[in-house]
Amino acid sequence: MPIASNSTVNQLDGLDQELDTILTSFDTSYAWNYGSVKDGLRDLYEKAKRDQWNGTEQLAWSTEVDPEHGILPEMLNPLQGYAPYDRLTEREKNRLRHAQVALQLSQFLHGEQGALIVASQLVGAVPWIDAKYYAGTQTMDEARHVEVFSRYLNEKLEWQWPINENLKELLDATIKDSRWDFKYLGMQIVIEGLAMAAFGNLYQITSEPLLKELVHYVMRDESRHVAFGVLSLSDYYKDMPANELRDREDFILYACELSRDRLVGDQIAHAMGWNREEVRQQVLASKPFMDFRRSLFMRIVPNLKRLGLLSPRVRDAFDRLGILEFEDADPEAQDRALGLA
């Protein structure tokens, strides 16, 4: 069973420690008007200051964690019913469960590092002082998220996976684009909108107390980050020329398709030596996974509608993706249901 070998784990750890450098360029703006320009941003900044937390002191790191049991329920495993998986021994299935948890949390970790980089770029790129204030607090938030996910993976799971290629492509596109509103769209609206839905799902299904508390703290921050994007971009697209709006539509569709296509079990299939297409079809046909995959967009679609970006072209594409049903969802109500508001 390839995934169970120590050499595989060590090889994956080595890959993840490599430095990856990309070339970026964007306009940096001083904002000499120190008054409030965008409604709501100063209040959001005040909330961010009040809600700072210290992951070293406020999380119960002494909690014993069994990475093979009690983190994700087996009944939701999309590989159930796949013959090569069903033939595994109970010990091998437990090891695979460990791998799946480590893989999911590794992608959260890598996404948070991408968010850290984008937030730091926004400090310089955004044109209002309130937005610079808030982007500064978000940079601190994202550093803390990287810290706690990395610690959980290394101390509790002792297993870290490389970044998924589709997530890496989306992060690179967001980081390298020179336009500040694309950074908001890529990170605050799409990536963090997806993360909030995934975190919410994990928070509801996990029975591991340390991870549950960690995710809840992170979600409190991420809820503000999504609001930061929505507030900053409000009315920005109202009178934008059609050709420039089409660029935004293209980016939204590209980002959502990349996000959808990364959740198909490719990394597990490769590590196990299983047929990649067979695993893909098994995962895509799994009822729990289909529900989870659709629900990931329940925050993105209504926020795009608020921003005036749910154009006929985007609506048609979202209808084909099966996610248009979320256009009237209420992200604030979702936050209240999770105890975040």
User: Does 20 fall in a domain?
Assistant: no
Give the separation between CA 54 and CA 57, rounded to whole angstroms.
6
User: Does 24 fall in a domain?
Assistant: no
Q: Are 309 and 252 in contact (CB under 8 A)?
A: yes
CA 64 to chain centre: 26
CB-facing half-sphere around the CA of 88: CA atoms within 13 A: 21
Give the separation between CA 260 and CA 144, rounded to whole angstroms.
27
Q: How many domains does the chain have?
A: 1
Calculate the dihedral angle through the C-alpha atoms of 165, 171, 176, 179, rounding to the nearest 10 degrees. 140
User: Does 27 fall in a domain?
Assistant: no
Quick one: pLDDT at residue 1? 44
User: Does 177 fall in a domain?
Assistant: yes
Q: Is 294 exposed, middle or buried (0-12, 13-18, 19+ CB in 10 A)?
A: middle
Quick one: pLDDT at residue 15? 44
User: Does 215 fall in a domain?
Assistant: yes
Residue burial 82-115, b: 16+ Cβ < 10 Å; e: rest: beebeebeeeebbbbbbbbbbbbbbbbbbbbbbb
Q: Are 138 and 90 in contact (CB under 8 A)?
A: no
Q: Which two tokens stand for residue 241?
A: 């020329």
Q: Which two tokens stand for residue 200?
A: 């919410």
Could you state, in chain order, the average pLDDT of each consecutive group of 10 residues for the chain (341 residues)?
A: 45 58 90 89 96 97 94 87 94 93 95 97 96 97 98 97 93 96 95 92 94 97 95 94 96 89 81 92 86 86 95 94 89 83 68
Calculate the dihedral angle through the C-alpha atoms of 92, 93, 96, 98, rounding to the nearest 10 degrees. -100
Quick one: pLDDT at residue 121? 97
- The CATH number covering residue 270 comes to 1.10.620.20
Q: Is 136 exposed, middle or buried (0-12, 13-18, 19+ CB in 10 A)?
A: middle
Contacts of 191 (CB under 8 A, 6+ apart): 111, 114, 115, 170, 171, 174, 255, 259
Quick one: pLDDT at residue 3? 53
Give the separation between CA 338 and CA 200, rounded to whole angstroms.
7
Quick one: pLDDT at residue 152? 98
User: Does 236 fall in a domain?
Assistant: yes
Q: Which of 98, 84, 81, 71 is nearest to 283 (CA)?
A: 81
Which amino acid appears at position 86 of this protein?
A: D
User: Does 33 fall in a domain?
Assistant: no
Quick one: pLDDT at residue 301? 94
User: Does 23 fall in a domain?
Assistant: no
Residue 58: phi, psi to the nearest 5? -95, -5
Q: Are 127 and 180 in contact (CB under 8 A)?
A: yes
Q: Are 114 and 175 in contact (CB under 8 A)?
A: yes
Q: Which of 187, 169, 181 is nearest to 300 (CA)?
A: 187
Domain hosting residue 257, numbered range? 2-13+39-337
